[in-house]
Chains A and B, each alone.
Chain A
Amino acid sequence: DTEVTQTPKHLVMGMTNKKSLKCEQHMGHRAMYWYKQKAKKPPELMFVYSYEKLSINESVPSRFSPECPNSSLLNLHLHALQPEDSALYLCASSQDGTGQPQHFGDGTRLSIL
């Protein structure tokens, strides 16, 4: 089991639905990340939160909306997704944003119908 917990593990949604992915860590880390991973590809960075503030947005479409309610929680709100958004969504955390290694959760496998 990883120290970064992601829920749900699997999600199937239609293109008109609204859903949220959740991520939680209790390691006292102050940087949290969302990644998207397609099959047989490395993770692609989407967003970085550093001390609960959004510090990096990798030009992600607005149908993905991140939120960091506190230092332990990270959400990714989904709305009007496209079939090409089907992927494994990974959350990660690191002690801070200055080169410390990132620790990943096991992801949410998202399928868009």
Chain B
Amino acid sequence: QKEVEQDPGPLSVPEGAIVSLNCTYSNSAFQYFMWYRQYSRKGPELLMYTYSSGNKEDGRFTAQVDKSSKYISLFIRDSQPSDSATYLCAMSAIIKAAGNKLTFGGGTRVLVKP
């Protein structure tokens, strides 16, 4: 079993719909949670970063973390064709003096149709 599970999709939605993405994880040591967006032939772009359980909102994006269920979500409101990309969840635990090792989900491909 992978440490972080993410549905690969593709997830196809009409323009203007809400995109709902999620990841589950098994390592209770994970404390930092990130969502990245990756366009084809580009590097991952940081969208959201959260530390504690609860909700965080930034424009059209809302990230939710439920540590008790080991479940994180990303919602994209009023989706646009430009949101079509692969979305990667990532998480990390605190590693003393060694650096910040991210564990990624496999990524979900999202298609927003005009």
A contact set with B: CB distance below 8 Å: 2, 4, 6, 31, 33, 40-43, 45, 48-50, 55-56, 90, 92, 94, 96-107, 109
Contact = CB atoms under 8 A, between A and B. Distances in A.
Contact of A98 (B34, B46, B94): B94
Secondary structure at the B interface, as helix, strand, loop or mixed, is loop
B101 A105 contact: no
A56 B105 CA distance: 20
B59 interface: no
Interface of B: 31-32, 34, 36, 41-46, 49, 51, 88, 92, 94-95, 97-102, 104-107
A45 B44 contact: no
Which 9 A/B pairs are nearest by Cβ-Cβ distance?
A48-B99, A42-B104, A104-B43, A97-B99, A99-B32, A101-B49, A106-B43, A55-B99, A50-B99
Given A43-B44, A107-B43, A99 B97 contact: no
